[in-house]
């Protein structure tokens, strides 16, 4: 089943008798059980105002189409959404709605914010078939409750996005990446924290323990990037690392690999994504006993490859953060929840909201998060 208009979608949802498996490009993993319902037909950019840094598109618009339109004006989605296809071995066309439904953000989330921070407005159809609009297309808007944030990352469990309005940013003149070699986990996280405490506006900070390489990205005007590279070099000289430089193209390749976690594409095991306080990351990793791991967001995000079926959450116990099971065998899925179970008080609020927006429970778990 597929729809080509919002009103058609509302009709389908209203008359549904069982669970709906809603999908855009279906690239971010596991559309839930139920009758397949594609919203890819809700497609097209309806407004793009480069001078106001805003774009409005139907939720099913291919991400590539949005990115191409932005590139033509020297702008981009600053939050750098990950492409899940290589990690999850999916195919298909990622949609702009899917990006926001799963709140997918990449390495630059560290400095500019997450996908949800760039979502200015939404239209959606809730589980009762009601069409709802919230937010708008201006950057500052406190008119009523911010359901825009609530929809971002809700994975279709409260409603199906039909239109998104977003903030975009200019593509900087250039980018370059400092590459530190030889640091162990603790030294690398300390070096990243040191760099982040500087005024030099790092837009990516990642560490690959397998290669013992630490990446620090700078973006902006050419003269500014040169200046900050030199400042950072002297700032980090004490770390004892050998410091190299990746220029524009090499820098971009390195960050795309980081964004899409290509290092974990091949091979066995379950893939977890863990959010934590950056300074606690090395200690959390030590407790996890992972087969391999990668740091992003200066340590605030850890990708872990665990032995199949191991419950990372039980192994770690309490810490300030949460872990999501991103890739796992069907068998592991039987025993381990995708999302970190919520404390009872939070779960009651979550359940209450789901019951309000999807009273029949037909959208539950349909567009499950893979981010």
254-283 binders of other proteins (CB under 8 A): 275-279
Would you say 44 or 170 has its CB closer to other proteins? 170
Residue at token pair 């239209």: 123
Q: How far is the CB of 369 from other proteins (least distance, A)?
A: 9
Segment 2-41, which members bind other proteins (CB under 8 A)? none
d(CA 363, CA 371): 18
Q: How far is the CB of 182 from other proteins (least distance, A)?
A: 21
Please tell me whether residue 352 binds other proteins under the rule CB under 8 A. yes
Please tell me whether residue 342 binds other proteins under the rule CB under 8 A. yes
Please tell me whether residue 339 binds other proteins under the rule CB under 8 A. yes
User: Three-class SS string for 128-196?
Assistant: CCCEEEEECCCCCCCCCCCHHHHHCCCCCCCEEEEEEEEECEECCCEEEEEEEECCCHHHHHHHHHHHH
Please tell me whether residue 145 binds other proteins under the rule CB under 8 A. yes
Candidate segments 12-20, 83-91, 163-171, 206-214, binder of other proteins by CB under 8 A:
163-171
Q: Write b or e for each residue in 89-122: b if 16 or more Cβ atoms lie within 10 A of its Cβ, otherwise e.
A: ebeebbbbbbbbbbbbbbbbbbbeebbbbbbbbb
Q: Which of 8, 11, 146, 252 binds other proteins (CB under 8 A)?
A: 146
d(CA 138, CA 291): 45
d(CA 60, CA 3): 10
Would you say 17 or 140 has its CB closer to other proteins? 140
Please tell me whether residue 193 binds other proteins under the rule CB under 8 A. yes
Is residue 351 packed enough to be buried (19+ CB in 10 Å), middle (13-18) or exposed (0-12)?
A: exposed
Candidate segments 18-26, 81-89, 124-132, 241-249, binder of other proteins by CB under 8 A:
124-132
Q: Which of 357, 363, 368, 370 binds other proteins (CB under 8 A)?
A: 357
Please tell me whether residue 325 binds other proteins under the rule CB under 8 A. no
Best CA proximity match to 299, nearest among 201, 175, 181, 194: 194
Would you say 38 or 259 has its CB closer to other proteins? 259
Would you say 231 or 265 has its CB closer to other proteins? 231
Q: How far is the CB of 266 from other proteins (least distance, A)?
A: 27
Q: Which residues pair with 180 in a beta bridge?
A: 214, 243
Q: How far is the CB of 267 from other proteins (least distance, A)?
A: 26
Q: How far is the CB of 303 from other proteins (least distance, A)?
A: 14
Would you say 40 or 312 has its CB closer to other proteins? 312
User: Ramachandran region of residue 352, left (φ > 0), alpha (ψ -120 to 50) or beta?
Assistant: alpha
Segment 36-75, which members bind other proteins (CB under 8 A)? 49-54, 73-74
**Tokens standing for residue 49:** 């105002």
| Rounded-to-10 torsion of CA 257, 106, 330, 290 | 70
Q: How far is the CB of 268 from other proteins (least distance, A)?
A: 26
């Amino acid at each position: 089943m597929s729809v080509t208009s919002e009103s058609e979608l509302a009709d389908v949802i209203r008359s549904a008798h069982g669970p709906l498996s809603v999908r855009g490009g279906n690239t971010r993993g596991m559309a839930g059980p139920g009758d397949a319902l594609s919203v890819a037909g809700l497609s097209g950019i309806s407004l793009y105002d480069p001078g106001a840094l805003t774009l409005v598109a139907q939720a099913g618009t291919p991400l590539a189409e949005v990115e191409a339109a932005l590139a033509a004006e020297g702008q981009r989605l600053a939050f750098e959404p990950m492409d899940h296809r290589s990690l999850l071995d999916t195919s298909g066309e990622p949609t702009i709605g899917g990006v926001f439904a799963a709140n997918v953000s990449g390495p630059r989330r560290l400095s500019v914010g997450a996908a949800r921070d760039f979502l200015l407005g939404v239209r959606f159809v809730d589980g009762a078939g009601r069409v709802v609009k919230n937010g708008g297309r201006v950057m500052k808007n406190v008119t009523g409750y911010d359901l825009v944030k609530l929809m971002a990352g809700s994975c279709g469990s409260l409603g199906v996005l039909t239109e998104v309005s977003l903030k975009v940013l200019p593509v900087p003149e250039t980018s370059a990446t400092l590459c530190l070699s030889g640091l162990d986990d603790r030294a690398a996280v300390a070096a990243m924290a040191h760099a982040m405490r500087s005024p030099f506006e790092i837009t990516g900070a990642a560490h690959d323990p397998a290669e013992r390489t630490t990446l620090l990205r700078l973006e902006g005007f050419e003269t500014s990037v040169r200046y900050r590279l030199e400042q950072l070099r002297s700032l980090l000289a004490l770390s004892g690392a050998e410091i190299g430089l990746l220029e524009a193209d090499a820098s971009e390749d390195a960050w795309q690999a980081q964004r899409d976690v290509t290092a974990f594409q091949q091979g066995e095991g379950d893939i977890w994504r863990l959010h934590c306080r950056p300074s606690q990351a090395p200690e959390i990793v030590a407790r996890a006993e992972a087969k391999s791991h990668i740091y992003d967001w200066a340590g605030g995000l850890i990708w872990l490859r665990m032995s199949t079926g191991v419950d990372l959450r039980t192994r770690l116990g309490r810490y300030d953060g949460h872990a999501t099971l991103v890739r796992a065998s069907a068998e592991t899925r039987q025993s381990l929840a995708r999302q970190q179970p919520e404390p009872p008080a939070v779960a009651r609020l979550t359940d209450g909201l789901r019951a309000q927006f999807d009273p029949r429970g037909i959208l539950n778990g349909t567009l499950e998060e893979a981010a």
